[in-house]
Structure 1
Amino acid sequence: MIKFIHTGDWHVGKTIRGKHRGGEYRAILDELYDFIVAENIELLLVAGDIYDTPTPSAEAESIIYSFFHRVSSLGVKSIVVAGNHDSSLRFEAISQIMALANVTMVGKYDFENPQNCVCEYTSKDGEDKLSIGLVPFIFERMFIRAQDIIDEKREETTMRYSRGMTYVLNEISKHFAADTTQIMVGHLLMHGARPGGGERRLYLGDNYAVHPVAIPKNVSYFALAHVHMYQQIEGPCPTYYCGSPLQMDFGEAEHEKGFLCGEIADGKVSTPRFIPFKSGVRLQSISGTIAELEDLLAEDNHNWDNFHLKITIKTDASTLGLSHKIKQQFPNAVDIRREFIGEDTKQLIAQDSPTWLPDLYRDFHNNHYERAADPEIIEEFLQLYEECSEEE
């Protein structure tokens, strides 16, 4: 029997409105490591977007490499494919080094040698053998030209991408070994998936979706990432998105985050269990007038220090200095914005006197730099405003 974990969409290095989250990522991966130890996991499937950017920071790389090094010391086999946020070239460059830590990484699909996207694995007890198809994210430009978008209807370009991905999946499956349980790990959008709210919208349109009928019939499990919300996709085999380990943006504030754990035995894959993460700081949006926000702050049943907060202040447009005040009361606020109520804001902004502008700049400076602006800077700001007004 093989016990496996299916995870992905880590986005290590991602901040929340500029706030550092390195400690949260370390805690999440520590929790994942502890689960691997406690449950005697022997196969780790990571379905892409381990980084948030193709050029991750040294800290982000340290977090990733340290985790896989620790996991390899347990004798765990790790399978990792590149997502659209990862660098396929970086993956390919470090794949041989990562192999020393028992990690198989695939950064890009090799159209001439699809067998390079297949990995064989035998369980530690020797009873079960797997053929694992690795499907990194494939950008639409591999199947759709700019001229196609101009000349064809949307439905035609949609089908062009889906047909291309169907070809890729079938080519990979042709290289599965006989008498093995066959699974796939991929980073793609499957038709029918519900977005989680924090994904990059460009690659969630219908043009880039793959229909579940594209999944080869001999596949027993498809481990997916790209959509940040845990869900099952109806298809010819058990097909799941594991979801992201952290709430990546406020559109995901209501979603529970975790990973999937399943078992493979006698050629069959069990229904995976969703294991929620206990680590990570949750996101929450609150709004109200100053008085209402102060009432929320006074409530005993809320510990606002345990959240990254998005705060909308309902206020009159002429009220100044609010962001700095709210930041002092809610130190974990990462996004503070105003919702103007009452007076006509256009009329206020169109007033002849620019004296309100320095106050707004002071408010911005206090909130952004967490210190008061020098009087000389305020004076220069006002001079620039006057010069621009004269040019108009």
Structure 2
Amino acid sequence: MSHPAGTIGPVKILHTADWHVGRSIRGRSRADEHRAVLAEIADVAGREEVDLILVAGDTFDVVAPSAESERIVYQALLDLSGIAPVVLIAGNHDHPRRWRAVAPLFEMGRVTVGATLQRPEEGGVVRILTETGETARIALVPFVGKRGIVTADDLMALDPFEHGGKYAGRVEAILDKLTEGMTSDDVNLVVAHLMIAEGRLGGGERVAFTVEDYAIPATAFGGALSYVALGHLHRLQSVPAPAPVWYAGSPMQLDFGERDDEKGLLVVDAEPGLPATVRPVPLTAGRRLIQLAGTLEELETRAGEAELADAYLKIVVHEPARAGLGDVVRELFPNAVDVLLASPRDIGATGRDVRLGRPPRELFIEYLERVNASDDDVVALFDEMLGDADAT
């Protein structure tokens, strides 16, 4: 525990999110990296002697994860629950019914699962009594899609005038319902999987669920809250708001759009009636993603650099297309997962990557690039169709 028995002190919270266990990179498994980074998170939790652990959604990368992915996630949660109580919510990549099925078992091991949105008195708000003697009151806001938000209105018994009919207004009304009655006597927390309008994308998020229609204003979180733990965006960041609002980001680089991001988790000290203090803690277990660009001659000078040895590489070659060029580059950089020509029309001429085991969205984007038809709106529509298929 963080404080001697019988004394009252801050509640120390570890906030993590967006594990995306099961994510591969161009067909290469990242299971060992996920095991390593989740063990690193448990090490931080033990070293910091935290009182509470919040996991803000997207523990899995797909709604139907493999048995290996389930083993990795479930073992990580059990390891964390041996250190402190864990509160977890489902994200847009998670299947809420799968989480709801295993929730009773996890509750036996100090893991509370918010699989679907619930009324405050039916599990939408949970209270955790910490070993420091404080009570943490936590509103659970798992991801809700546009279709699900209508059902959520009925669940919360909201009137149409309370939200104006739009997604953002409805979510704000739900937040109001879940947090009403919170007083300064408790540590008041929200753990949510949401897109906040002021947040910055990390590069690996599903586009359809980060567009403007899903954006919630940061003002939705009132100043009476001690801390808001968010998942969904993969970049660790604070969001300007009346209360302390933070995204923990993903614990390792998941996509080349995240190659410049420093990954980590958040350690939070929260006391009743006061805004929390937040400290980022870096995580280093995952392999880095690095992009190189240049002529073949320029690339040859970088082959063998120490920082590239354990990284996944994306190579952009400034050369005319010719047979065998991709093979030459891969001989120089065996851990290259993408070899592309600088000209968009020639992308893919260096050889085809293995498709087996790669996410459908990744393959669809690659196809659009290959036919010179890249379009974010088309990708967003594909994501919506994919989401509908996943939910069936």
* 1:83 aligned residue: 91
Deviation at 1:244, TM superposition (A): 0.8
* 1:374 aligned residue: none
The SS at the match of 1:38 is helix
* 2:332 aligned residue: 329
Deviation at 1:314, TM superposition (A): 2.0
* 1:121 aligned residue: 128
Cα 1:114–1:288 change in 2 (3 A) is: farther
* 2:364 aligned residue: none
Cα 1:181–1:206 change in 2 (3 A) is: same
Deviation at 1:214, TM superposition (A): 1.9
* 1:339 aligned residue: 342
* 1:305 aligned residue: 309
Instruction: Please give the alpha-carbon distance, in whole angstroms, between the structure 2 residues aligned to 1:230 and 1:222.
Output: 13
Deviation at 1:87, TM superposition (A): 0.5
Structure number with greater Rg is 1
Matched, 1:106 2:114: yes
Question: RMSD across aligned C-alpha pairs, in angstroms?
Answer: 2.4
Instruction: Please give the alpha-carbon distance, in whole angstroms, between the structure 1 residues aligned to 2:267 and 2:74.
Output: 22
Decide whether the 8 Å contact of 2:230 with 2:245 is kept in 1: yes
* 2:191 aligned residue: 185
Partner of residue 283 from structure 2, selected from 277, 285, 300: 277
Cα 1:166–1:266 change in 2 (3 A) is: closer
* 1:254 aligned residue: 260
Decide whether the 8 Å contact of 1:6 with 1:44 is kept in 2: yes
The SS at the match of 1:260 is strand
Deviation at 1:234, TM superposition (A): 1.4
The SS at the match of 2:315 is strand
Deviation at 1:178, TM superposition (A): 7.7
CA offsets 1:215-269 (integer angstroms, 9 cap, x no match):
2443221110111111111111111111111111111111100000011235434
Instruction: Please give the alpha-carbon distance, in whole angstroms, between the structure 1 residues aligned to 2:52 and 2:212.
Output: 32
Partner of residue 289 from structure 1, selected from 284, 295, 304: 295
Matched, 1:95 2:107: no
Deviation at 1:115, TM superposition (A): 3.9
Q: Which amino acid aligns with 2:109?
A: A
Q: Which amino acid aligns with 2:313?
A: L
Deviation at 1:340, TM superposition (A): 4.8
Instruction: Please give the alpha-carbon distance, in whole angstroms, between the structure 1 residues aligned to 2:184 and 2:240.
Output: 26
Q: Which amino acid aligns with 2:333?
A: F
* 2:373 aligned residue: none
Structure 1 unaligned residues grouped into runs of 5+: 146-156, 347-359, 370-392
Structure 2 unaligned residues grouped into runs of 5+: 1-8, 152-162, 356-392
* 2:218 aligned residue: 212
Instruction: Please give the alpha-carbon distance, in whole angstroms, between the structure 1 residues aligned to 2:25 and 2:164.
Output: 33
The SS at the match of 2:303 is helix
CA offsets 1:61-81 (integer angstroms, 9 cap, x no match):
11111112222233x100000
Decide whether the 8 Å contact of 1:119 with 1:132 is kept in 2: yes
Instruction: Please give the alpha-carbon distance, in whole angstroms, between the structure 2 residues aligned to 1:191 and 1:99.
Output: 33
Instruction: Please give the alpha-carbon distance, in whole angstroms, between the structure 2 residues aligned to 1:305 and 1:28.
Output: 19
Instruction: Please give the alpha-carbon distance, in whole angstroms, between the structure 2 residues aligned to 1:332 and 1:60.
Output: 23
Instruction: Please give the alpha-carbon distance, in whole angstroms, between the structure 1 residues aligned to 2:232 and 2:265.
Output: 14
Q: Which amino acid aligns with 2:103?
A: S
Instruction: Please give the alpha-carbon distance, in whole angstroms, between the structure 2 residues aligned to 1:106 and 1:210.
Output: 20
Instruction: Please give the alpha-carbon distance, in whole angstroms, between the structure 2 residues aligned to 1:137 and 1:227.
Output: 12
Instruction: Please give the alpha-carbon distance, in whole angstroms, between the structure 1 residues aligned to 2:148 and 2:354.
Output: 42
* 2:368 aligned residue: none
Deviation at 1:323, TM superposition (A): 1.4
* 2:55 aligned residue: 46
CA offsets 1:353-392 (integer angstroms, 9 cap, x no match):
xxxxxxx7xx747x649xxxxxxxxxxxxxxxxxxxxxxx
Q: Which amino acid aligns with 1:121?
A: I
Q: Which amino acid aligns with 2:71?
A: S
The SS at the match of 1:218 is coil
Q: Which amino acid aligns with 1:263?
A: D
TM-score when scaled to structure 2?
0.79
Deviation at 1:159, TM superposition (A): 7.0
* 2:6 aligned residue: none
Cα 1:123–1:269 change in 2 (3 A) is: farther
The SS at the match of 1:164 is helix
Instruction: Please give the alpha-carbon distance, in whole angstroms, between the structure 1 residues aligned to 2:232 and 2:78.
Output: 25
Deviation at 1:113, TM superposition (A): 6.1
Deviation at 1:175, TM superposition (A): 6.0
CA offsets 1:290-317 (integer angstroms, 9 cap, x no match):
211111115x5x4322211001122222
The SS at the match of 2:301 is helix
Instruction: Please give the alpha-carbon distance, in whole angstroms, between the structure 2 residues aligned to 1:115 and 1:176.
Output: 16
CA offsets 1:130-181 (integer angstroms, 9 cap, x no match):
1100100010123479xxxxxxxxxxx9971111001111111136578322
Partner of residue 30 from structure 2, selected from 21, 26, 31: 21
* 2:320 aligned residue: 316
Decide whether the 8 Å contact of 2:27 with 2:354 is kept in 1: no
Instruction: Please give the alpha-carbon distance, in whole angstroms, between the structure 2 residues aligned to 1:60 and 1:175.
Output: 39
Cα 1:314–1:33 change in 2 (3 A) is: same
Cα 1:70–1:249 change in 2 (3 A) is: same
